[in-house]
Amino acid sequence: MLEIRSLTCGYGAKIVISGISFDVKEGELFGVIGPNGSGKTTLLRALSRVIKPMSGEILLDGKNFQDIPIRDFARGTAVVSQLLPLVEMTVEEFVLLGRTPHFENMQFVESKHDLQIAHQCMALTDTLRLRDKPINHLSGGERQLAQIARALAQEPKLLLLDEPTAHLDITHQVVILDLLRKLVRELKLTVVMVLHDLNLASEYGDRLALMSQGSIHQCGIPTEVIDFSIIEEVYKTVVVLKNNPVSHKPYVFIVPQEELLKDKVRK
Amino acid sequence: MNIKHSILLILALSFFFPAALAQTKPVERIISLGPVITEDLFLLSSGDKLVGCTTFCQRPEAAKHKEKVGSVQEINLEKVVSLKPDVVLATELTDPRAKEKLRALGIRVVDIPNAKNFNDICSVFLKLGQLVGQEPLARAIIAQTKKKVDELKGKLKNAEKTKVFVQVGSDPLVTVGGDTFANDFIELAGGVNIVTQKGYLQYSREQVLASDPDVMIISSMGFDGQKEVQNWEEFKTLRAITRHRIFIIDQYLLCAPTPVSFAETLKTVIQDLHPEIRP
Amino acid sequence: MKLNGIFWLMILGTALVIVMLFSLSVGAVRISPQRIIALFFQGPGSSEYSIIFDIRLPRIILGFAIGGALSLAGVILQGLFRNPLVEPYTLGISGGAALGVSLNIVLGLAAVSRLSLPLSGFLGAAAVIGFLYLANFRRGMVNLQGLLLNGVMISFIASSLVMLLLSLTSTESLQGIIFWIMGSLGETDGTLIKAMLAVSLAVLALSYMFCLHLNAFALGEEEALHLGIPVERTKQMLFLMTGILVGFCVSVAGVIGFIGLVVPHFMRKVVGHDHRILLMASFLAGAIFLIFCDTIARTIIAPLELPVGVITGIAGGSVFVYAFARERGQTHA
């Protein structure tokens, strides 16, 4: 669905990512991981068309990004960003904004169909009960779910998320990631998300791309990428890997310095 | 004269007659947009025809009780229209937009030019006299004034030229040069203005001290005239101060005179400049 | 909720008609609304007809066009910059116009043609718009923060230059410049009034093409982009539209402040943030506000007139402070 070829991007004269090439298949949950400053966010911004590539290309269903008008793009691709500026609107109004790309040329008011879709998305994300609350009054987790609802209201085939679980408690983390998995499995959505939490990425990602210093260090299924030597090389910290007892996916354990020393002393 | 000539004559007259008629159509309701015009109208015995004037028209006493249509620059169009004037007398300061609008509404607006010297006053006064049908009276007043002025000039034949400084504004200090009334007064009264340029100009106290005039005339400027005199009295080196030759003259008399007030003011100025002459 | 919006628009529409009738009936001469209607059918001839239809009505039309325009410009700019303190004059357009007019008066060009004054005002405004456009619209990207800063700087520079001119010039010019700057709906040229009305309504109609864009803009430029809004083009168009609109307003009527700041702010509280309602609501409310203030300005010390900018400033400012204080009280309570 998504093909990235030798992508090089940056801000002004500064290059942040270079020579990025990978594919995202339709109907998969793709995770982008990597240390701070590795270029994850820049990559996502290139994929969401906020920044233009310096060289290289991105193809969506075979068509070059440059050739897709922004409105058509928004009808197929939705983005859930991390920060939302303070706005004064209710959750329902907010989610309805997601229908904007689908408005006909002279349409000013939402149709019944638009309202229906918006309500469905809110139901899916369990935010229907919050519909009349001002969005500023929601908790972090609720707000993230509302943003996902808005993105879903765009009826996208591709969903891009930038750290959807940052600052959230484990309840919301699981709720959101379970929802994303459900969307991928049942609605055949394609999801590309940037995650900082290796274990969540390992648990939920169908395939992962590990970034380091502006390029892709490793790309593949979680067991290929979450390998202790790769992780130690990229993150430059000592880790221990075991499998999750329930799902058998790789799990990364950090090793505090204290324990290291104890270990050395014991040895 | 044969028939053909008579017909031609009648045709010619019928062309000009309505126009002439329009010019001499009696003017019963007048609105004045300037204080000098208002004063002049009263001098021309036409005060009763004045139905409206500006808030600045304070002379004569009767003018204060007339309907006000605005200030000299800003005219309340509604008020003017509601007073149903036959003619509106505008000055050079009147907002041209207002004049245009009034004319567009079918109201006759006559521009009265600003008088800058004694001859101008007389010609403007005559024009006004013709407008209100008081030409003979106008001519009489002008003749009287000219006679008075000539008399006064006669008395100055052997007087020596006095150096004069006139102040019409403070903060900033403003004086007057050529092409103004104050200047006319000075010259006709046998004086010499220390300022040689024309019109109203900003001046500095230093320049006045440098010129050291014999006489200083301060206009009343509202009520600041007295204060200015006190300011000047600090400068004890000035000739005008040591000899107590500093005088206050009402600003309207000094800068916006009518023919009648012109003669009166000239007399006062002569007395100030040449106390030895008994005019 | 949509119904709520329509309801408010109807109320505003009714209020507008009431204010217009009120304004038509007061002045140097009191003329009742019934008499006005009678005069309308009677046709021209009487001085009363002249007063109503040749003097008061053009003024009210101008109040409608300019009050609506300034308020609309305020709403659009506040939506564009996502800053409730931005108003039509923040960008320095009024400063440019004031400078243009001051130069004209000082150089004595007004004597050449009466229309030269509004024209020089507009040229001054256009110069500022042009400069801001060139300085901040590069490589297809619009820098909003830079635009704001440049605008504020130009405002300061322009007012300093105007003050310089004021200090160097003669008293008559001084009065002329100051009167113009203080703002007045006294413009009498029929063509100018019609032009202003046309521009005002045209921009209102055009702005509706961007009402959805403005709604999306509330989430930020990036989010708006994600929603498929052509962000750069939107910024360009809205900037040019409001620039030209404000340039016209200032050229025709001088600087009438506060409407562009206070009215949108107020309407946002009353009808909400949806620009589909807000644009029209602000326009109508601005028109009502200015017509009302102008009526006070021309009657309170009749036959003299207060500059309408004084009334809008005092009325607008007081309302603003009161509303703000109430808000603070509520959040603290």
> CATH topology of B27-140 equal to that of B157-273?
yes
Domain that holds residue A151: 2-266
Residue A42 corresponds to which amino acid?
T
Domain B27-140 has CATH 2.60.40.420: no
List, for residues A178-208, the tens digit of each pLDDT value.
999 999 999 889 999 999 999 999 999 999 9
Other beta carbons within 10 Å of B47:
16
Q: What pLDDT does C333 receive?
A: 46
Confidence grade of residue C140 (pLDDT, cut at 50, 70, 90): low
C186/B97 Cβ within 8 A: yes
Radius of gyration of chain C (CA): 20
Highest mean predicted confidence (pLDDT) among B238-247, C72-81, C117-126? C72-81
A185 burial level (CB within 10 Å; 0-12, 13-18, 19+): exposed
Q: What is the pLDDT of residue B25?
A: 64
CA of B122 to nearest chain C CA: how many angstroms apart?
A: 25
Kindly tell me if the per-residue pLDDT of B20 is higher than 70. Answer: no
* Triad B41, B42, B44: Cα angle to 5°: 65
Beta strands A55-60 and A2-11, pairing class: antiparallel
Q: Which of C47-56, C121-130, C174-183 has the highest mean pLDDT?
A: C121-130
Q: Which of C54, C57, C184, C295 to mutate to test the interface with B (most CBs of B within 10 A)?
A: C54
Residue in A73, A85, A89 nearest the CB of C82 = A85
What's the CA gap between A155 and A95, in Å, rounded? Answer: 12
| Contact C54/B at CB under 8 A | yes
Domain B157-273, architecture per CATH: 3-Layer(aba) Sandwich (3.40)
The tokens for C29 are: 């001469």
Which class for A76: exposed (0-12), middle (13-18), buried (19 or more C-beta within 10 A)?
middle
Share of chain B above pLDDT 70, in %: 90
Candidates A88, A169, A154, A85; CA nearest to A118 is: A154
Residue of C nearest to B56 (CA): C304
Report the pLDDT value the prediction gives residue B234, as an integer from 0 to 100.
84
- Output the pLDDT for position C42: 84
Mean local confidence (pLDDT), C245-266: 90
Question: Over the stretch A156-185, which tens digit does the pLDDT of each residue have?
Answer: 999 999 999 888 888 889 999 999 999 999
Would you call B79 and C170 a contact, using CB atoms and an 8 Å cutoff? no
Q: Is the pLDDT of residue B120 over 80?
A: yes
Q: Residue A147 in contact with residue A121, Cβ under 8 Å?
A: no
What's the pLDDT band for B6 if we cut at 50, 70, 90?
low
pLDDT of C139 above 80: no
Give me the pLDDT at residue A264, please: 67
For position B154, what pLDDT does the model report?
A: 81
Q: Which two tokens stand for residue B57?
A: 């028209």
Residue ranges of C 219-248 with Cβ closer than 8 A to chain A: 219-220, 222-223, 225-230
Query: What are the structural domains of chain C?
Result: 73-327 (1.10.3470.10)
**pLDDT for the residue B21:** 43
Across B244-272, average pLDDT: 84
Q: Is the pLDDT of residue C12 over 80?
A: yes
Positive or negative CA dihedral for B147, B152, B153, B157? Answer: positive
- For the ranges A58-72, B220-234, B244-258, B261-275, the maximum mean pLDDT occurs at A58-72
Average pLDDT score over residue span B264-272? 84
Q: Which amino acid is at A117?
A: I
Does the interface predicted TM-score (ipTM) exceed 0.85? yes
The pLDDT of residue C1: 46
Cut 0.80: pTM above it: yes
Average pLDDT over residues B126-140: 90
CATH code, domain with A210: 3.40.50.300
Q: Letter for the amino acid at A161?
A: L
Residues in chain B: 279
Q: Which of A121-125, B208-212, C23-27, C108-112 has the lowest average pLDDT?
A: C108-112
Which residue of A48, A72, A83, A89 to mutate against C (max C Cβ within 10 Å)? A89
Confidence of residue C209 (pLDDT cuts 50, 70, 90): very high
* Cα A101 from Cα A82, distance rounded (Å): 21
Interchain CB contact of C51 with B (< 8 Å): yes
Stretch 250-309 of chain C: residues touching chain A, C-beta under 8 Å: 273-274, 276
Q: Is the pLDDT of residue B23 over 60?
A: no
Cβ–Cβ below 8 Å for A108 and C274: no
Q: In terms of residues, how long is chain A? A: 267
A206/B277: higher pLDDT: A206
Residue A249's nearest CA partner among A56, A29, A84, A10 is A29
- Under DSSP, is residue B54 helix (H, G, I), strand (E, B) or coil? coil
**Local confidence band at C161 (pLDDT 50, 70, 90 cut-offs):** very high
pLDDT, residue A31, reads 94
Average pLDDT, stretch C122-134?
Answer: 90
Whether B77 sits inside 8 A of C114 (CB atoms) is: no
Domain count across chain A: 1
Q: Is residue A65 very low, low, confident or very high in pLDDT (cuts 50, 70, 90)?
A: confident
Q: Are B239 and B261 in contact (CB under 8 A)?
A: no
Q: Which residues of B touch C169 (CB under 8 A)?
A: none
Residues C177 and C101: beta-carbon distance below 8 Å: yes
Q: Which chains touch A (3 or more CB pairs under 8 A)?
A: C
**pLDDT tier at B255, thresholds 50, 70, 90:** confident
In terms of Cα–Cα distance, which of B171, B162, B199 is closest to B183?
B199
User: For position A267, what pLDDT does the model report?
Assistant: 47
Q: From residue A184, how far is each of A30, A152, A193, A196 by CA, in Å?
A: 10, 12, 12, 20
Mean pLDDT of A238-248: 88
Region B8-12: mean pLDDT is 64
| Chain C interface mutation, best of B29, B31, B78, highest count of C Cβ atoms under 10 Å | B78
Helix (H, G, I), strand (E, B) or coil at B87: strand
The per-residue pLDDT for C108 is: 77
Mean pLDDT on A99-113: 86
| Cβ atoms of residues A137 and A90 within 8 Å | no
Going from N- to C-terminal start, the domains of chain B cover 27-140, 157-273
The helix/strand/coil state of B156 is coil
> pLDDT value at position A82?
82
